[in-house]
Amino acid sequence: MEMRKKNGSRALLNSGREVLLDSFLASCPEMLFVAGVEGELLRWSGALGQAFGSVLKENLRLAEIVHPADRRAVQEGWSRLQAGKHRQQPVYIECRLRRPEGAYRRVSCALRRSRDGDFVHGSLREPARHPDEDIDELRRRSKILETLMRNVTICVWSIDRNGIFTYHDGKGLELVGMKPGELIGKNLFEVFEDTDEVRQALEGTPMHTFSSQNDIHWESWFVPIQDDGEVDGLIGFTLDVTEAKRAEQEIRSKLAQIEHQQQVIRDLSTPVIEVWDGVLTLPMVGVVDSVRVADMMDGLLRRIAEKSARFAILDLTGVEVVDTKVASHLINIVSAIRLLGAEGIVVGIKPTVAHTMVSLGLDLSTVLTKANLRAALSFAIRRMSAVAPASGGQ
């Protein structure tokens, strides 16, 4: 009975310690963690969870989220930690750890083995910076921004949440007749009329726009400045893209010209000629492919409808070879001509072309053929002459 009481007390004590540890880790403002001796994460504080979010998970090895350039240093530090003589001595490492969005955060890592040697206790902190380093960094960034604004045709500006300019600079201001800082203290909504994109950006939506003024083309970005989730202002970046826009317009103009020239060439290569009242002919010369046949069909059918033609003669005198698709297209052209109320006649078929059509097994029973253009024209005239008196006598 006494033994059961002691075991129960120990269990209760261990349970209380576990609750106390959970409470401590949840509320601790420091980035702490407990890992196995091989580097797998077991527990971590709420502060560490907030800093690295979904990247952290149980049994994740710390080396997996270390920047590739820092992994060797981390491995060496962990090896020192595992060595027997260093078990009670802390090991300090500086490295970069990956955050959920993919960026890396530089931290100072302090590691120490537990007394029993089964675990590693660690803490992470932002590396200490000397005030002079911060000043040098600010100077470096300022120099970069100044160099950009003096050598690139851009305008950089910022406004507060009410639209008041707090910054206004850039070489691009010369193009619109302004001086750096000229708009500081003025309200953007009173100076400019078209401000819909700026208003949307002040509501928290980054905007990207194009605009033109006096033959100058601008590309602009409006980026909200947020403080604790609230929009506190806006940064504007406007770039002169006039030369790029002109180059684009020139390319579009040249492409349109090329397309027009190609259309002219297609029209010249597939001329539809009215050889008699109500009789059209389409001479085909050279290589006939599927694209050209499609253009021929479009042009011929359009002219048949415009002229109310009775006959359309397809002259293949200048064609030496046709392939399977082209032969099928020719049959389709004749069928389409018939649907418009006209009659299609194929003339000038060379022996090689005739052999190809027959070998392909195409149904030519509905295709009217003649030896040459003269024979087809005579046939068409006779047919129209024979119909005319009969029509007049009715």
Tens digits of per-residue pLDDT, 238-259?
888 888 778 878 888 888 887 7
Question: How many other CB atoms are found less than 10 A from the CB of residue 170?
Answer: 24
- Per-residue pLDDT at 312: 92
Sheet holding 165-169, edge to edge: 165-169, 154-160, 230-240, 216-227, 207-213
| Close Cβ partners of 43 (under 8 Å, ≥ 6 residues apart) | 21, 25, 33, 34
Across the chain, mean pLDDT equals 81
222 CB-side CA count, 13 A: 24
pLDDT (average), residues 42-65: 86
Mean pLDDT to the nearest integer, 172-192: 86
Radius of gyration of the chain (CA): 42
- Distance in angstroms (rounded) separating the CA atoms of residues 182 and 76: 57
Strand partners for 287: none
What average pLDDT does this structure show over 56-85?
Answer: 84
Write out pLDDT tens, residues 305-349.
988 899 999 888 887 777 777 777 788 888 899 999 999 998 988
For residues 271 and 310, the model is more confident at 310
| Per-residue model confidence as pLDDT tens digits over 204-228 | 889 998 888 777 888 889 999 887 6
Least confident of 13-22, 190-199, 374-383: 13-22
Written as one string, the DSSP assignment of 82-101 is HSGGGTTS-EEEEEEEE-TT
pLDDT at 23: 84
Could you give the domains of the chain? Answer: 2-125 (3.30.450.20), 148-243 (3.30.450.20), 270-386 (3.30.750.24)
- In the prediction, which pLDDT does 393 show? 45
Model confidence at 12: pLDDT above 60: no
Half-sphere exposure of 179 (CA within 13 A, CB side): 1
**pLDDT at position 16, please?**
65
Q: What is the pLDDT of residue 326?
A: 74
Mean per-residue pLDDT, 270-287? 81
Question: Does residue 343 contact residue 310 with C-beta atoms inside 8 Å?
Answer: yes
- Of the two residues 363 and 93, the one the predictor is more confident about is 93
Confidence of residue 272 (pLDDT cuts 50, 70, 90): confident
292-297 average pLDDT score: 78
Share of the chain above pLDDT 70, in %: 87
Q: Where are the alpha helices (DSSP H) in 174-316?
A: 188-191, 196-202, 242-269, 290-307
- Using the predicted structure, report yes or no on whether residue 131 has a pLDDT greater than 50: yes
Q: One-letter amino acid identity for 91?
A: V
Its pTM stands at: 0.40
pLDDT of 394 reads 40
Identify the pLDDT of residue 82.
79
> Among 50, 79, 48, 51, which residue's Cα sits nearest to residue 63?
79
Least-confidence region, from 87-101, 305-319, 330-344, 366-380: 87-101
- pLDDT band at 268; cut points 50, 70, 90: low
Contact 154, 237 (CB under 8 A): yes
User: What number of helices (H) and strands (E) belong to the chain?
Assistant: 11, 15
State the average pLDDT over residues 367-375.
88
Q: Out of 50-54, 246-250, 366-370, pick the least confident.
A: 246-250
Query: Rounded to whole angstroms, how far apart are CA atoms 66 and 78?
Result: 13
What is the token pair recorded at 386? 């024979």
Strands across the sheet containing 311-318: 273-276, 279-285, 311-318, 343-347, 368-370
pLDDT of residue 81 exceeding 90: no
Q: DSSP string covering 136-147, please?
A: HHHHHHHHHHHH
